[in-house]
Structure 1
């Protein structure tokens, strides 16, 4: 049995390395192009000097500083609101069951099956009626709550031993104190993982911000990158890839810092 498993392990390892190579190849090409002048990058000259000129030119000709600031405010707004709303909803589903709560939770799960693009027109009509077009609130309002976040936190809260909750109540803790002192600390890895997921999604979100923004003052980095590539610089791939690396660098750094918590929390979030 052990002998038979060795070829399987070897094939699995080879397949994993092959898939990893396919995934990382475009990233390596982007690094190569961004850190070389157009001539050296196009010829794949291994002895071509590395340079930061492309990054300096990108920051000089486009307001990427403003784009990053807009995106930071957007993802912070969404993340804070989702943490609060999803935490309270998950806590209610776990600790305060009521008549019809299971049906309501099923409706929350149904939302996971609806693509955001399906609601694009109706969301735009709502945002337009509220008079907040071309604002950070317009980009974030449809995402201030998350069915995925409610599901993930509920599954994690269900794993908290009842004894801890009862002990806290015996010591005189009110429901909010029980939530903050018992449930939230236990779910800390889940909060980190979910934060990475939602920040990554909304940092890279393109279609909805493109629809509701039209000015540099509110434009996020994804829309700014698209405008930079198609309007300002055309097909200068050295500048485009440099701008792309600037856009994704915060996400790559965050994932490298929190990858362990990211994997562990989703392993713990299985249906219980």
Structure 2
């Protein structure tokens, strides 16, 4: 096996630094513009005064309080449904025997290969038939089950020794009791890892919420921010950047506060 040379390490670190720079520059501009008056939004000046007026203006010009509430409800609803349904399905595929088990699991894996955007039209027709168009439930319902979550939790459950099942059954646990008392505690790292992926994805999801919602009462942050940024009201880039930071702040703050737990959960779950 060939060993890494000093040149290889330099190239890899240089590439990583370049990618980090490409990610950081737009964020740095957004932070600068958001905390300075509009006159300095495109001009760097160390003497420029700091201000929170852009955040206040953004909050007053659009119903961001409602957008935040809708997004929190949406993310929590989807995550709760996914953890319940996918945990039950993963346990069934990992430990139970039933006709068509291999075929059903193959179909779930096949779902991972299908782009969600392909299903937009059919999902919209389904929501319209159910009378759910322009509702928070309509945004989340197509995501209540996740092939990735079922696969990840199944692989985790299959690594748990079956002797623990037998010990729990001897103690009088039902099948659901075994799942709750044995598999769920041991599968928490995988559940946390998936939860982080799910929250991040649905917090930032844009296209489906844009299609299925029509009113302020149901729009999440991504759609509200897009409409706010494209309205012809003379809103400055400083205010738009302040609104963007408000939208991204919960995820960024959560990562900064719990980054160690984030990394550990992915390592324990075997995600690379």
Scaled to the shorter chain, the TM-score interval is over 0.9
Counterpart check, 1:177 vs 2:180 = no
Would you say the 8 A contact 1:192–1:258 is kept in 2?
A: no
Gapped runs of 5+ residues in structure 2?
Answer: none
C-alpha distance 253-86 of structure 1, shift in aligned 2 (>3 A)? same
Q: Which residue of 2 aligns with 1:158?
A: 158
Q: Is contact 1:35-1:50 (8 Å) kept?
A: yes
For residue 41 of structure 2, give the secondary structure of its aligned residue in structure 1.
Answer: helix
Distance 1:156 1:256 in 2: 27
User: For residues 236-251 of structure 1, what are the structure 2 equivalents within 5 Å?
Assistant: 236-251=236-251
For 2:231 and 2:31, how far apart are their aligned partners in 1?
A: 23
Contact 1:196 1:255 in 2 (8 A): no
Q: What CA deviation, in whole Å up to 9, does each residue of 1:205-259 have, x standing for no partner? A: 1111111111111111111001111116456210111101100111112222333
Kindly report which structure 2 residues correspond to 1:74-89, keeping only aligned pairs within 5 A, or say none.
74-89=74-89
Aligned partners of 1:127 and 1:138 also within 8 Å: yes
Using the alignment, how far apart are the partners of 2:99 and 2:32 within structure 1?
Answer: 59
- Structure 1 gaps of 5+ residues are none
Q: CA RMSD in A?
A: 2.0
Q: Does the 8 Å CA contact 2:135/2:213 hold for their aligned counterparts? A: yes
Q: Which stretches of structure 1, 4 residues or more, deviate above 4 A after TM superposition?
A: 1-4, 232-235
* TM-score (normalised: structure 1): 0.93
Q: Do the aligned partners of 2:90 and 2:153 also contact (CA within 8 Å) in 1? A: yes
- Give, in whole Å, the separation in 1 of the partners of 2:41 and 2:211: 35
Cross-structure match for 1:134: 134
For residue 39 of structure 1, report the CA deviation from its aligned partner.
1.1
Comparing 249-258 with 61-70, greater Cα deviation is found at 249-258
1:192 deviates by 1.5
What corresponds to 1:45 in structure 2?
A: 45
Equivalent-residue separation in structure 1 for 2:263 and 2:231 (angstroms):
39
Q: Tell me the distance in 2 between the aligned counterparts of 1:234 and 1:175.
A: 61
Match of 2:208 in 1: 208
State yes or no: 1:263 paired with 2:263: yes
Paired residues of 2:41 and 2:237 also in contact (CA < 8 A) = no
What is the distance in 2 between the residues matched to 1:4 and 1:247? 42
Q: Deviations over 1:162-186 (max 9, x none)?
A: 2222221221211111111111111
Partner Cα distance (1:92, 1:70) in 2: 33
1:3 deviates by 8.8
Per-residue deviation, residues 86-131 of structure 1 (Å, max 9, x unmatched): 0000000001022321121110011111111111111111111111
Separation in structure 1 between the aligned mates of residue 152 and residue 3 of structure 2, nearest angstrom: 40
How far apart, in 2, do the equivalents of 1:96 and 1:16 lie?
A: 45
Give the count of matched residue pairs: 271
